[in-house]
A and B are shown apart, each in its own frame.
Chain A
Amino acid sequence: MLPLLRCVPRALGSAVVGLRPLLQPALRPCTRPFGLLSVRAGSERRPSLLRPRGPCACGCGCGGLHTEGDKAFVEFLNDEIKEEKKIQKHKSLPKMSGGWNLEVNGTEAKLVRNVAGEKITVTFNINNSIPPTFDGEEESSQGQKVEEQEPELTSTPNFVVEVIKNGGKRALVLDCHYPEDEVAQEEEGESDIFSIREVSFQSTGESEWKDTNYTLNTDSLDWALYDHLMDFLADRGVDNTFADELVELSTALEHQEYITFLEDLKGFVKSQ
């Protein structure tokens, strides 16, 4: 009888259960979606912490928690992964021009370049790097058009540039940001493509960031000094073109990591 009941859609299944006489034990398409709540007194298959559980009632024989919800979740993830792979622009990460070497460690990417005795390192992390869109209300009222007009997601992470001269013991560290107000940027905004927020020196030997080192905040900085810092970066290959290419790289890495996450999630939901 159980296999037949498993074919009943979930909503109908609950309705059937609801019509049963109160004293008659309810038959369920799958075991204990909510643990102890579904344990019946006197049941021969009552679980015990000290006793191994029986096989999954869905018939797969795995013996683990296996719900219709999980099944639907896995199906959803399959579709999502398929769709995401379909729209994936880069099957491998795009190359940066200018002789940058890329190292990726999970969500963190490091671009390294050596020029005339200087080592320039640019680090960014793709976590939380996609700015929110603010046109949700308008989209929801558009109904069908939402899917067609879905904007491409762009990853614009903060990035940190470290410059070390001739194997020196300290690095000049420049914390760079993309403008936060993307909407204004797309229109007639007057924000630079990227800006320097903070500048400090850090010891190359220490992995911990030292807050006791003086940090120059550019909010109230003399513009002439700011322009020198921007030219300093441009001379080391960190200019508007670099910033554009970094967005492309970061967006590709973010998408790649998202798909990997979805695959991991699918594997996790399926596994016992």
Chain B
Amino acid sequence: MSLVLRNLQRVIPLRRVPLRQRMEAVRSILGVQKFDLGIICVDNKSIQHINKIYRQKNIPTDVLSFPFHENLKAGEIPQPDFPDDYNLGDIFLGVEYIFQQCKENEDYYDILTVTATHGLCHLLGFTHSTEATWQQMYQKEKQVLEELGRRTGARLHPLSRNLF
């Protein structure tokens, strides 16, 4: 099934292939290649708007996830009955916000990947609302990014590493 990228913003010049290659690898590591996944790149204004509507937080942010399968247990791979339900949902990436947070020595596409991986973990039921759930999510992100690092040579750290 497909990974679909959309770039709805013009603030940050964005190449699609580097992000796709990394996220295809992440999907493969997580074992969810047979599911559709949307990654939508937006600017601060758009992600702030979405954040306000769905989370009542009127500020820009880095990532918002909209799962197709709700109430999954952390790490549970959905078992759909119908072909159309092989879909994980959509990840909105605040690429402008991420660019502003990106440090000089960091590769922008690596940081986009770290952020999208965090969003993908949310689509698979991981949360970080308590320390216990955060531990599970952190471990999963760490495992995925370490494996990605083995494949690409990049040293990547989970987005959720300093949450608790």
Contact = CB atoms under 8 A, between A and B. Distances in A.
A259 B25 CA distance: 55
11 contacts: A190-B40, A190-B90, A191-B6, A191-B8, A192-B7, A192-B8, A223-B5, A224-B24, A230-B7, A241-B13, A243-B10
B139 interface: no
A239 B2 contact: no
Contacts of A223: 2-5, 20
A228 interface: yes
Given A228-B17, A234-B15, A190 B9 contact: no
Interface residues of A, number: 17
Contacts of B16: 227-228, 230-231
A241 B7 CA distance: 12
A193 B10 contact: yes
B146 to A, nearest CB: 25
Contact of A240 (B9, B38, B40, B50): B9
Nearest to B49: A188
Interface of A: 188, 190-193, 223-224, 227-228, 230-231, 234, 239-241, 243-244
A269 B72 CA distance: 71
Given A191-B6, A191-B8, A192-B7, 15 more contacts: A190-B8, A190-B40, A192-B6, A193-B10, A223-B3, A224-B17, A224-B20, A227-B5, A227-B17, A227-B20, A231-B17, A239-B10, A239-B13, A241-B10, A241-B13
B13 A234 contact: yes
B7 A231 contact: no
| Chain B residues touching A, majority SS | mixed
Nearest to A243: B10
Q: Which has the most chain A C-beta neighbours within 10 Å: B4, B6, B16, B17?
A: B16
Contacts of A231: 15-17
A198 to B, nearest CB: 19
A241 B9 CA distance: 9
**Shortest 10 CB-CB distances between A and B: which pairs?**
A227-B16, A240-B10, A241-B10, A231-B15, A231-B17, A223-B2, A227-B20, A227-B17, A190-B6, A192-B6
Interface in B1-39: 2-10, 13, 15-17, 20, 24, 38
Contacts of B9: 240
A36 to B, nearest CB: 61
A239 B7 CA distance: 10
A193 to B, nearest CB: 7
B3 A188 contact: no
A193 B46 CA distance: 14
